[in-house]
Every structure is written in C-alpha cells, then in structure tokens.
C-alpha cells in the first residue's frame, strides 16, 4: 500500500496557502510553526526554494482561476477543525484526540503538547510522517489502522496509552468520502462503544452540490492518484447512518460561513457542498 497522494496534495497546498499575504494572519502561530520548524518537507532556503515558491504560487493562481473555491475550502476546513478541536479541549481539559486517516496533518502534533493525541493511518503514511517530524511530542502516539480492513476498537486498545474512560474527540478530515456506508456505520458504532460520551468531528462533501467542474476535477484527480471514492453520501444520509448508532449532528458549518478576503479586498470564492460536522 502506498502513501495517499490526495492527502499529500492537501498538505502541500495548505503549506503553500498559509504563507499567502491575505491568509497568513488567519493561521495560528502554532500551525505556522509546525510547517516551518517541525515537519521536514524539503529545503526551505536557497535559489531553488525561490524558484519552487514562484512555481507553486503560479499553480495556486491557476487552481483558483479554473476551480474557484477550491483553495478557500482547504483553509476553511483546516481552520474550522482546529477551532472546534481547541474548543472541545477547553470544555474537556483532560480529554484526548483521535485523528483517523491523519495523513500529514498538523492537528494532533499541536494538541499533543498538553493532551494525549493518537494518529491512526496505514503503515506507509505513519512511517513517512515519523521520518519527517523533527520535533517529537511525548503525548503523540501513532497507530497502524486501515479504515476498510481493521477494527477501530482493537487498534486503539493495542496502544497502552489510549484510555477509553477519558472523553475523546474523534476526527475524520477528508476521510469519509473514501468509506462505504457499512464502514461509516461501523465506525460510528465503534466510537460510541468505546465511550458513549465520545464526540466526532468530520468534514463532509456532498458531491451532488459541487459545481460540475469541481466534481469532475475532484473525482478524476482521485482516480488518477490511484485512489477510489465511494458512492456519494449526502448530509441527510450521513446523519441517518450516524443516528442509527446514537450520533446526532450538534453543529454544522458550511464553507460559505467563513469569508476570506483576497489581497484586493474581494472575498475568495467558496465551494458549495463542503461542510464540517460536529456530532455527539
């Protein structure tokens, strides 16, 4: 099994976007720190770095021109998940965080400075990320887990640092689009079985609401990356799948709820069909 190219692409895009003049002030310092000092992507200095940055910025401009809203949705989901996770830990100072399909994201590393955080993903991703992180966290734990083949409860209980008695926030950012209905239902059941008080934070794409060019680009891009999307699950069906396992949507944030202005003062285009759901 190879590293997810789509997960890597999102992280690389976000790393480039956070440095944009009209965006960098929106990003918390600890997130900037993660990408600048903690995780090693490549050389960040020198002549080739300058050429690389010019090339990436040109690609971002083309992306926004051809797929308006794509860049906004990346910032929207990263900031929304970060903000809601921080709020959860403020309400539950002794809580823990479990990030499912963590990829190369910053979230668990940031909050592991004070709370136990667990990153679950396939082994190639875990090994690559561990090799890239230059600053370790004592409370950050990596667990091998394949959403389609491994049982979540067994995987978590294999780690002696995981405590099912503690209040826990489970996070699936960009994962459920790759899971079929039975896997989603089993995932919800497992989270509740571990502790009925557990909460769940998830991004959600209703591909039926995406503009035609966005949907074609998204589905074709995933296919070219050698990955596979499942049949679209809209928000109503996702809520029903989760409610069958006693989960209910507590809060829903749509991408158009967050306005991000460009350098010229005009708001960035937003993407329909993109939301962040908080379930308990």
> How far is Cα of residue 279 from the mean position of the Cα atoms in its chain?
16
CA angle 215, 256, 235 (to 5 degrees): 60
Output the pLDDT for position 47: 44
170 versus 36: the higher-pLDDT residue is 170
- Burial zone of 145 (CB within 10 Å; 0-12 exposed, 13-18 middle, 19+ buried): buried
Average pLDDT over residues 182-195: 96
Tokens 């489970």 — which residue? 170
132 versus 86: the higher-pLDDT residue is 86
Q: Which of helix, strand or coil describes residue 252?
A: strand
Supply the DSSP symbol for 166: S
210 versus 171: the higher-pLDDT residue is 171
Q: Please report the beta strands in 73-129, taking only residues with DSSP state E, as ranges in sequence order.
A: 96-100, 117-121
**Phi/psi of residue 168, each to 5°?**
-135, 135
Q: Which of helix, strand or coil describes residue 23?
A: coil
Taking 60 as the threshold, does the pLDDT of residue 276 lie above it? yes
> How far is Cα of residue 170 from the mean position of the Cα atoms in its chain?
11
C-alpha separations of 235 from 95, 175, 262, 277 in Å = 28, 15, 30, 9
98 versus 46: the higher-pLDDT residue is 98
Residue 116 CB coordination number (10 Å): 23
Taking 50 as the threshold, does the pLDDT of residue 54 lie above it? yes
Percent of the chain residues past pLDDT 90, beyond the cut: 62
Q: Please report the beta strands in 206-265, taking only residues with DSSP state E, as ranges in sequence order.
A: 249-254
Taking 60 as the threshold, does the pLDDT of residue 28 lie above it? yes
Q: Rounded CA gap, 180 and 183, in Å?
A: 5
pLDDT tens per residue, range 213-222: 888 888 988 8
Output the pLDDT for position 49: 57
Write the CB contacts of 53 (distance below 8 Å, at least 6 apart in sequence).
16
Output the pLDDT for position 43: 44
**Mean pLDDT across the chain, nearest whole number?**
90
Residue 263 CB coordination number (10 Å): 9
The band of 4, judged by pLDDT with boundaries at 50, 70 and 90, is confident
Average pLDDT over residues 133-141: 93
Nearest alpha-carbon partner for 25 in 269, 237, 261: 261
The band of 266, judged by pLDDT with boundaries at 50, 70 and 90, is confident
Output the pLDDT for position 50: 58
Tokens 């460009």 — which residue? 262
Taking 60 as the threshold, does the pLDDT of residue 46 lie above it? no
Taking 70 as the threshold, does the pLDDT of residue 105 lie above it? yes
């Amino acid at each position: 099994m190879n590293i997810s190219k789509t997960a890597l692409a999102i992280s690389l895009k976000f790393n480039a976007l956070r440095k944009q003049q009209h965006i960098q002030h929106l990003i918390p310092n600890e997130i900037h720190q993660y990408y600048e000092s903690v995780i090693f992507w490549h050389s960040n200095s020198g002549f080739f770095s300058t050429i690389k940055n010019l090339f990436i910025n040109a690609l971002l401009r083309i992306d926004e021109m051809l797929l308006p809203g794509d860049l906004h949705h990346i910032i929207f989901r990263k900031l929304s998940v970060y903000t809601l996770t921080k709020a959860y830990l403020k309400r539950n100072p002794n809580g823990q965080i479990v990030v499912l399909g963590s990829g190369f994201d910053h979230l668990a590393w940031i909050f592991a400075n004070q709370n136990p955080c667990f990153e679950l993903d396939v082994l190639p991703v875990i090994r690559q990320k561990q090799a890239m992180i230059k600053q370790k966290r004592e409370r950050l734990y990596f667990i091998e887990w394949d959403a389609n083949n491994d049982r979540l409860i067994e995987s978590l209980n294999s780690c002696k640092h995981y405590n099912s008695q503690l209040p826990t926030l489970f996070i699936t950012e960009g994962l459920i689009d790759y899971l079929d209905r039975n896997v989603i239902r089993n995932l919800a059941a497992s989270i509740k079985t571990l502790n009925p008080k557990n909460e769940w934070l998830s991004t959600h794409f209703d591909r039926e609401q995406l503009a035609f060019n966005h949907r074609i680009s998204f589905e074709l891009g995933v296919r070219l990356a050698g990955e596979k999307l499942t049949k679209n699950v809209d928000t109503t069906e996702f809520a029903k799948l989760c409610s069958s396992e006693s989960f209910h949507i507590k809060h829903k944030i749509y991408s158009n709820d967050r306005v991000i202005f460009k350098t010229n003062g005009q708001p960035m285009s937003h993407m329909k069909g993109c939301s962040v759901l908080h379930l308990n």
